[in-house]
Amino acid sequence: MLRILHIIPRLRKGGAERLCLDICNQLQKRGGVQIRLITFSDENAYPFLSESIDWQVVPASVQLSVFHKNALNIDALQKAIDDFAPDVIHTHLFEAEIVSHSCNYPQARWFSHCHDNMRQFRNFCVKTLFNKELLTNYFEKRYLFSRYQANGGNTFFAISHDTERYFRKTASEYDVQFLPNAIDYEKFHCDNGRRPSTKLRLVNVGSYQAKKNQRFLVEVAKILCEHHIDFEMNLLGDGEKFGEVANLIKKNHLEANVMQHGNVENVAEYLWQSDIYIHSAYYEPFGLVLLEAMAAGLPVVTLDGRGNRDLILQGKNGYMLYEQNAEQFADSILEIWNDKQKYHEMSDFAQEFARQYDIEPYVDRLLVVYNKMI
């Protein structure tokens, strides 16, 4: 029996959390595996995904200090790990990285899921000495590396070629495995084929933070209005920049075309009711939502976020723009929309492309790596 422990700080709305739950759910279907999930709080935005998982809430925290004693609240977590006696410990997000590795359990093989290029792993440079944030990050990195050693090493799962290059450069003394993220393909797949309406329906999904760059989509909407395109743009998600984007929509008199829906449970239904997926993030470690949109049959128009370069085959499942040019972005949307044959070809190809990222074969590959490393 392979005993696998996944640790993530909390189950808030986000791609890392959703993927972690998808992995746990898929692992639970496999014979010869016992899976447990630990979070540090009971926050849960995905009750429908967590209800069948062996999930344990274990309050834990770590506060590192450059000049004082570190504050480690890990006793309960250490006991939970000892009691479960895992063969594999798989952590998600930097908070879990610091807190979990502060425990001692070298009997397991440890894996870190690189959901992004964690800034704390940047290599030391002269600028580090004169920047408080960079110095703190470097201190955390050195602390983590000492904990990796104490626990018998570490393996990083790189989710994109960009992330793989980053961790091979910043954590070169440790094993890095290239394992692109996955989606529950059947949850988003649409069997009926795409039937574009006379009204162009655009959709975007993402938290409202600076890097997601929804402001840019307002600029794109302005261009589409200037071209007298009959369209609607549905923005799904919430976050600190929500109000700022709302003010831009109002300022540009786009309320009839651009709708903000906040966080929604039925993302798949919005995708099925849309024609093209648009993505404005200027940094995207991978892009699960792009694959979800493709599974629903949507061609994608996206800015270059580096990690999402792996997902766009130019002119086949979408277009990637390498500069923030709203006019060019709008032109790419209309190029797909105005050529119905191209639209259907791209829609069909997008679905087949997304299928290769399904969670079931992903977990097959994950188990191979677990067993190999053990």
pLDDT of residue 365: 97
pLDDT of residue 191: 76
pLDDT of residue 192: 60
Query: What does the pLDDT look like over 357-367, one tens digit per residue?
Result: 999 999 999 99
| pLDDT, the chain, mean | 95
> Is 70 exceeded by the pLDDT of residue 197?
no
> Is 80 exceeded by the pLDDT of residue 338?
yes
pTM as predicted: 0.93
Mean pLDDT, residues 194-220: 91
Q: Are strands 175-178 and 200-205 parallel, antiparallel or unpaired?
A: unpaired
Q: How confident is the model at residue 194 (pLDDT cuts 50, 70, 90)?
A: low
> Is 90 exceeded by the pLDDT of residue 135?
no
pLDDT of residue 121: 93
Look at 357 and 127; give whichever has higher pLDDT: 357
pLDDT of residue 134: 84
pLDDT of residue 86: 98
> Is 90 exceeded by the pLDDT of residue 276?
yes
Q: How confident is the model at residue 1 (pLDDT cuts 50, 70, 90)?
A: very high
Look at 308 and 125; give whichever has higher pLDDT: 308
pLDDT of residue 127: 85
